[in-house]
Homo-oligomer: A and B are copies of this chain.
C-alpha cells in the first residue's frame, strides 16, 4: 500500500468540503445527500466516509470553518471588514452560516459537536475583543461575550436577509453595529 502524504489527505478533505458547501448552498441541509456530494465531487461514497463519519460531521466541519474564517477576519480587520468579507463575497458561506444556525435550533448533538470543533479558535475571539476594549476601540462597560453575541446576531440576521434577497443596506447595518459597540462618549 503506498503511503499517503498528509498534504494529499488534507487536499482530499478540502475537496469534499468544497463540494459539500456547493451542494448545501443549492439544496439546503435536508436536501444535501451524500449521493449529491458524490456527484458534485466525483469521489466515491467510500472516499467521503473515509474522511467524515456521517453527513452531519460534514456540516459540523463546514460550520466550524465559517466560524474560524469569521474569527480570523474579525481579529485581522475588525467587525465591519469581517462582515464585508463574509457576507458580501461568498454566497456559499452565507448558506453554510444559515444552515448551521438552523441546525442549532433543534439538534443538540450538532450543538455539542460544533462546540467541540470550535473550541480551538473561539478563545482567540474573546481575547481580541478584550484587547480592543482595553485599547479603547470597543466599549468596555459590557462583557466581551455580549459584544460577541450582539455582533453574531447582526451577522446572522444580515446573512438571512441577503440569502432571501430582502432589501438590505449592508453598509448601513454594519455602521449601526459599529455604533452599538464603540466606546460610549463621556456623559
Contacts and interface: CB of A to CB of B under 8 A. Distances in A.
Nearest to A152: B157
B149 A173 contact: yes
A157 B146 contact: no
A158 to B, nearest CB: 7
Copies of this protein chain in the complex: 2
Contacts of A180: 176-177, 179-180
Nearest to A104: B164
B164 A149 contact: no
Summarize A's interface: helix, strand, loop or mixed: helix
A186 B167 CA distance: 30
Contact of A172 (B142, B152, B164, B169): B142
A137 to B, nearest CB: 16
Interface in A145-187: 145-147, 149-150, 152-154, 156-158, 160-161, 163-164, 167-169, 172-173, 175-177, 179-181, 184-185
Contacts of A152: 157
17 contacts: A98-B105, A101-B160, A102-B102, A146-B169, A146-B173, A146-B176, A149-B173, A150-B173, A152-B157, A153-B154, A153-B158, A153-B161, A153-B173, A156-B157, A157-B157, A179-B179, A185-B185
A109 to B, nearest CB: 14
Contacts of A149: 161, 168, 173
